[in-house]
Amino acid sequence: MLSCPIGALQTVGGTAGFGFSFYVSGFLLLLGVLVGRLVCGFLCPFGFFQELLHKFPVPKKKLFSPLIYVKYVVLVMFVLLVPLWGVILQGDGQPAFCKYICPVGTLEGAIPLLLTHLEFRQAAGVLFAWKFLILLGIMVGCIFIYRFSCRTLCPLGAIYGILNPVSLYRLRLAKQRCIECGTCQDVCPMNIHPARQTSSAECIMCGKCIEACPHQALYLGRETKERCCRC
């Protein structure tokens, strides 16, 4: 229950004889259909770490928008296809994302392990150095760009983002109240226009647009006629 879902998905899918991971996939689909990327906004510990890094008092930058699609490439290539190719060609697939990319595993697993177990430090070679450089790059990116890893690299964010438009609990708009003032767009840390993109795959449901809206036109929850028609 507490294991990384991406790691579990790759391990089962990349092991000969285990096939498709219905439990892990079902768990991800259930969360995605229920709350979408609310998981990213409030449940992910690495997301909280990125929030802390972004508080460093340096000039902030906007993300080059095409980079948001990198996480979908990572999901398809490193989470799904590479382990599958390994099973087809060798009978045993590599958990490619976890092994070669994942900055969370480096921060929360590898670094504490090396700090507390001296005997493992000799085994830390080129692969650890490569992943440590990825982690450093992500950390620097997060200082300047809000949730840099969530928006560009995280395959879980990609999965939940795909499910955002169909999630039961998500950002909603009471159209009768909206005057299209643009306030929500100005405060959105994910650089979307919440009033026009309530189903955006980039929305993590942080609630900043809801707090800023002068006419209470935005809200989180299920869409109801009572809420939408209230004047």
Percentage of the chain with pLDDT > 90? 67
pLDDT recorded at residue 179: 94
Q: For each of the domains in the chain, give its residue range(s) and CATH number, in order of start.
A: 5-162 (no CATH), 169-229 (3.30.70.20)
pLDDT, tens only, 51-107:
999 999 999 999 999 999 999 999 999 988 887 777 667 766 678 899 899 999 999
Query: How far apart are the C-alpha atoms of 100 and 103, rounded to whole Å?
Result: 9
Output the DSSP codes for 179-222. ----HHHHH-TT---TTT-TT-TT----SHHHHH-TT--EEEE-
pLDDT recorded at residue 148: 97
What tokens appear for 19 in the block? 């096939």
pLDDT, tens only, 112-124:
989 998 888 888 8
pLDDT, tens only, 1-49:
456 788 777 776 655 555 566 777 888 889 999 999 999 999 999 999 9
Cβ–Cβ < 8 Å for 20, 154: no
Arithmetic mean of pLDDT, 187-212: 96
pLDDT recorded at residue 228: 46
pLDDT recorded at residue 186: 96
pLDDT recorded at residue 19: 58
Arithmetic mean of pLDDT, 192-197: 96
pLDDT recorded at residue 132: 96
pLDDT recorded at residue 208: 96
Residue 133 φ/ψ, nearest 5 degrees? -65, -40
Arithmetic mean of pLDDT, 152-170: 94
Arithmetic mean of pLDDT, 137-150: 97
pLDDT recorded at residue 226: 45
Q: Does residue 156 register a pLDDT over 90?
A: yes
pLDDT recorded at residue 81: 86
Q: Which amino acid belongs to residue 115?
A: L
pLDDT recorded at residue 1: 44
- With tokens 């979307």, the residue in question is 192
Q: Which amino acid belongs to residue 168?
A: L
Q: Does residue 177 register a pLDDT over 80?
A: yes
Enter the pTM of the model: 0.87
Average pLDDT, the chain: 88
